[in-house]
Structure formats: structure tokens, C-alpha cells
Amino acid sequence: MKLVIHPAVDAARFLAIADAARPMLVVNAADDAEALREIADANAFFGKLTPELLRAAGKLVWVQSPTASLEHYVFPELIAHPLTLTNMRGLFSDVIADHVMGLVLCFARNFHIYIRQQLEERYEPVGVKDSPHNNFAIGAGTLSPMDRAHQHLGDQTMGIVGLGAIGSEVAQRAEAFGMNTIAVDPVNPAAWPMEQLPALLAASDYVTICAPHTPKTERLFNAAAFAQMRPNAVLVNIGRGAIVDLNALADALEAGQVAGAGLDVFEAEPLPAGHRLWKMPNVVITPHVAGASPRIAERHLAVITDNARRFARGDALVNVVNKREWF
């Protein structure tokens, strides 16, 4: 049996993969031409598969994608081919869930406002005007404007769109903060079916998108979806940018249909200069870094070595995907 890697990986990673794949022959293709030659009799492939490489492959049984997302990886011939495709899902789940809760806390505790005020050297609790110190003189048992302007997360509902590995980690963290959690997912029996998305939107104070980009989720969040959200709700998107119509989101934020948005992914990246979202005080933008962590490289290598070992032994592979559904 034979495994072809392309683009080539560094020496240390190659040795780890080759050791795991024994007794398979492992080829670290240096360029496109070598990959095209070597894939002719290869049983397995790790890297960026192209239509040209697939046409040249006569024995290909398994392909390991180097990414978790597949919208830029799959193509019609690959979908139709009987080979098994696996991806890198699960590498980022805890890291991304941490990022989600960072954004949630930002809005719950008004950090997005206080950071901007700090740059202006302005000391002004949200909910209090002119004389912030008077707020503390309100009698015991009386709810102050400052108190009302800061959320107690135990009173909030987290709606999760996509209860896969990432969504499940988000749910765990939200529940640890005392939040009520609800979710929709097309396959997870622990969640509501996707047809219940309007009900989730109507019930949620925070809506977190953890879904992959698929033909069914593209622009799932459009003007109609935002109209179904609570006016006090915050949208968090750490899924894929194509799921949210950004102009419709900006319209909803300006109209007060949605209270805020924490965005790590966008339809076009980077977010174009001059887009309305850049200047909105109720929007927090991070540059597609929710999955960044010093642990990712080792986890990435662990998936490919584990699957190489499994394939060489004839064992079941992990992270098998539905090519037609892109996840």
C-alpha cells in the first residue's frame, strides 16, 4: 500500500506519518509533477486533492483533508468517487468555544463599551449618566440603572446552531456559567431539528453559529432570520462566514432588530474596508482567530498519524465525512 503527501510536509512530520503508516510506502511529493506521478498507484492521499490528481489516481481509497472545513476542498468528481474522505474536525473545538465565551462575556459585561471609553479616558459605568457615583447611593433592594445594564449570565439563554464538536463545547461552557442552552442540528438527536431554528431564534439571548458551510447553511442568517431574533439578542459567528449575510446583519443592527454581534468569520475575508460593521459600537470583530492555539499543530499531526495507522491496519478511520453534505 502507498500514501502520497502533497504539498510536502517538513521532515519531522514526514517521519512521524511514515512511522505510523508502516508498512505502507509513504511519498512526500516535492512538487505537482511528482504528486501526479506517484498518485497513479496510491491507495491513500493527504493534502490538497485536485481534479487532476483524482483523474490520475487508479487505486485511491482514502483521502485525508488537512482542513476541518470542506467548502473549498470538495468538488463534483470527489463527491461522486467511492473513496472515503476524512477531515480535521475536533482540533479546534475547545479553543473556539473559549473564544465564544469571551465574546459572550464581552457583551454581558459591556467590555466592548468600556474598552472604547478607556481610549477616551472616560470613566462612565454603562447605564449611568453624568454622576456615576450617585448610582452606588441607591438603597438596598433597589435595582439601579447600572445593574440593569449588566447581565447576569444565569438569566440568559444560549442558542447554538450546530451541535457538533464545537457546539457541544460551547454548550458545556455556557452551562458552566449557568446559562440555559438550546440547540438545532441536522443529525444530533440531542438537539432540535433544523426546522426549529425560528423557535431557537425567538427564545435565545445569544445565538452562536457553530455550523459548517454547506449548501444548506449558506446565508442561513438573512433578513428573515434576523427578524425572528429578540431585539436584545447578540449574534456570535465562529462557524463560517458564508452563513451570515453581512449586509442584512448590518441592517438588522441599525434597525435595532439585533442588539449586537461578535464576529470572527466573514463572507469575504478580510472584512472589506469601509464596511458598516467596522464602525458599529455594538459589534466586536476578531480576524478569524477563534481556532488559534499553540496546541493545534500537535493535534493536526495526531489526526493524520492516527488515521494512517488505522488505514495501514485496516481499522475504521476517524472523522469520516459525508461528502455530499460537506461535513
Candidates 158, 207, 206; CA nearest to 180 is: 158
Mean pLDDT, all residues of the chain = 95
Question: Is residue 114 assigned to a domain?
Answer: no
Same structural domain, 165 and 281: yes
Q: What is the pLDDT of residues 132-183, one digit of tens each?
A: 555 555 556 778 899 999 999 999 999 999 999 999 999 999 999 999 999 9
Same structural domain, 270 and 309: no
Report how far apart, in Å, the C-alpha atoms of 1 and of each of 4, 21, 23, 60, 175 are. 10, 10, 8, 10, 47
Same structural domain, 105 and 254: yes
Q: For cell 457553530, what's the residue?
A: 210
Q: How far apart are CA 280 and CA 264, in angstroms?
A: 15
Same structural domain, 281 and 231: yes
Same structural domain, 179 and 239: yes
Split at pLDDT 50, 70, 90, the class of 317 is: very high
- Residue 291, judged by CB atoms within 10 A of its CB (0-12, 13-18, 19+), counts as middle
Q: Taking residues 222-247, what's their average pLDDT?
A: 97
Q: What is the pLDDT of residues 253-271, one digit of tens each?
A: 999 999 999 999 999 999 9
Asked if residue 39 lies in contact with residue 53, where contact means CB atoms within 8 angstroms, the answer is: yes
What is the pLDDT, as a whole number, of residue 138?
54
Q: How far apart are CA 226 and CA 137, in angstroms?
A: 39
The answer for 315, left when phi > 0, alpha when psi is -120 to 50, beta otherwise, is: beta
Q: Taking residues 115-139, what's their average pLDDT?
A: 77
**b/e 25-50 (16+ beta carbons within 10 angstroms → b):** ebbbbeeeeebbebbeebbbbbbebb
Split at pLDDT 50, 70, 90, the class of 131 is: very low
Which residue range forms the structural domain that includes residue 64? 2-91+294-313
Same structural domain, 222 and 83: no
pLDDT reading at 239 higher than 60: yes
Quote the number of domains for the chain.
Answer: 2
Q: How far apart are CA 170 and CA 209, in angstroms?
A: 10
Q: What is the pLDDT of residues 33-82, one digit of tens each?
A: 999 999 999 999 999 999 999 999 999 999 999 999 999 999 999 999 99
- State the catalytic residues: 240, 269, 288
| Three-class secondary structure of residue 263 per DSSP | strand
Same structural domain, 193 and 301: no
Q: What amino acid is encoded at 216 in this protein?
A: K
- pTM beyond 0.75: yes
Same structural domain, 162 and 266: yes
Same structural domain, 168 and 251: yes
Same structural domain, 44 and 179: no
Same structural domain, 275 and 218: yes
Angle in degrees, 0-180, between the axes of helices 165-176 and 93-108, rounded to the nearest 10 = 40
C-alpha angle 247-253-215 in degrees, rounded to nearest 5: 45
Q: How far apart are CA 60 and CA 83, in angstroms?
A: 7
264: which DSSP letter? Answer: S
Asked if residue 237 lies in contact with residue 209, where contact means CB atoms within 8 angstroms, the answer is: yes
Same structural domain, 281 and 306: no
Q: Taking residues 312-324, what's their average pLDDT?
A: 97
Question: Is residue 260 assigned to a domain?
Answer: yes
Tell whether omega for the bond before 7 is within 30 degrees of 0, i.e. cis. Answer: yes
CATH of the domain at 55: 3.40.50.720
